[in-house]
Amino acid sequence: MERMNVFDALDCTTVLDDPPAEVHVPAPRSPDTGGKVDLDRRQFLDRLLATGATGLAAALAGGYVLGSTVAPVFASDPEVSTKHKFRYGMVIDTRRCVGCKACMAACKTENKTPPGVYYTVVVEDTRNSEFDRPLFMTKPCFHCEHPPCTKVCPVSATFKREQDGIVVIDYDRCIGCRYCITACPYGARYFDFGENYDITDSGGAWADVPSPEYNQYRVREDGESPIGNVRKCTFCLHLQDADGKYSREEGRWPACAKTCTGHAIHFGDLIDPESEVSRLLVERQAVRLKEELGTEPNVYYLL
């Protein structure tokens, strides 16, 4: 029996077909796609490079906010350990993504996001009918080296952390102007309008569950952050230890990467040459979206 409609992410695959965007729930495909589909995968990525997040932003417009205490997760906080320097990023294997959207469901469950707020989305291209195999791409926040979103914020509420390169939002400073949403070329930001899941769908519990984001554990309440704020993927930084490290063995790993059924999402420190993500970038051909903008995103796609 389906108790909770919190996994509405499962019904939210963005389709790249011309508007109106459709929703498809295709059967999973094998990661072994053969040589010819590789060409279509390249075409899929080329289309994304050309069109960017326009369709995605239009299809998934909306957003939400958090509470009021500032936890020691911001670069300016003296309690933050900068003993180690990391550059966290993702490497996503386009051959292995099967479009199951488990990453979307896991992200929503981990971060307790409201309706219309998706920190991870799955983009689907259905135009390869010759092979009857849709192609998929998972899109979190890209945590760019030169994020355009941070430059337009009039109150410096969003910025890139020095210790690990994660782009964050200080909900207590955010005034909800949404300039950053417009500036983001990847459609990775959402606004928290204060909506909640219907009590019949959520059992009345979802709105009362605090979000662990930024280790602040806020319960969304009218007139309080993060309602009225912009929200985005944080690479689940609340799972870091005191030294800023994640641990896959201990389960302290970004929810999307931990849950990916196709093992398509790889996460780690891009500075560490021995990390899985660094190794994959050496062994495989990879691209980044919209590199011509100079944003230098820290999310790579394997071809």
Per-residue model confidence (pLDDT) at position 91: 98
Check if the beta carbon of residue 140 is closer than 8 Å to that of residue 187.
no
Mean pLDDT of 263-281: 96
DSSP H/E element including 104? helix 102-111
> For residue 174, what pLDDT band results from cuts at 50, 70 and 90?
very high
3-state secondary structure of 281: helix
3-state secondary structure of 302: strand
pLDDT 10s digits, 218-248: 998 889 999 999 999 999 999 999 999 999 9
Per-residue model confidence (pLDDT) at position 295: 96
CATH number of domain containing 191:
3.30.70.20
pLDDT 10s digits, 182-210: 999 999 999 999 988 877 766 567 778 89
What single string gives the DSSP state of each residue in 117-170?
--SSEEEEE---TTTT--EEEEE-----SS-HHHHH-TT--EEE-TTT--EEE-
Per-residue model confidence (pLDDT) at position 201: 65
pLDDT 10s digits, 118-159: 999 998 876 655 666 778 889 999 999 999 999 999 999 999
3-state secondary structure of 267: strand
pLDDT of residue 170 exceeding 80 = yes
CA distance 147 to 301: 19
DSSP H/E element including 85? none
Cis peptide bond N-terminal to 273, omega within 30? no
Cis peptide bond N-terminal to 226, omega within 30? yes
CA distance 29 to 119: 24
pLDDT 10s digits, 27-82: 333 333 333 334 455 554 555 444 444 433 333 333 323 222 333 454 444 344 44
Per-residue model confidence (pLDDT) at position 58: 35
pTM for the structure as a whole: 0.74
User: Could you tell me the end-to-end alpha-carbon distance of the chain, in angstroms, rounded to an integer?
Assistant: 39
Check if the beta carbon of residue 198 is closer than 8 Å to that of residue 204.
no
Check if the beta carbon of residue 270 is closer than 8 Å to that of residue 91.
no
CA distance 225 to 28: 38
pLDDT of residue 110 exceeding 80 = yes
**DSSP code, position 10:** G
Per-residue model confidence (pLDDT) at position 46: 54
R_g (Cα) of the chain, nearest Å: 18
Lowest mean pLDDT among 4-18, 42-56, 202-216, 281-295: 4-18
CA distance 132 to 128: 6
Q: Tokens standing for 205?
A: 């519990």
Give the other-Cβ count within 10 Å of 211's Cβ: 21
- Sorted by sequence, the CB contacts under 8 Å of residue 49 that are 6+ apart come out as 287, 289, 290
What single string gives the DSSP state of each residue in 197-214?
--HHHHTT-GGGSPB-GG
CA distance 147 to 163: 16
Q: Tokens standing for 224?
A: 């309080």
pLDDT of residue 19 exceeding 50 = no
What residues make up the domain containing 108? 5-302
**Total domain count, the chain:** 1
Per-residue model confidence (pLDDT) at position 256: 97
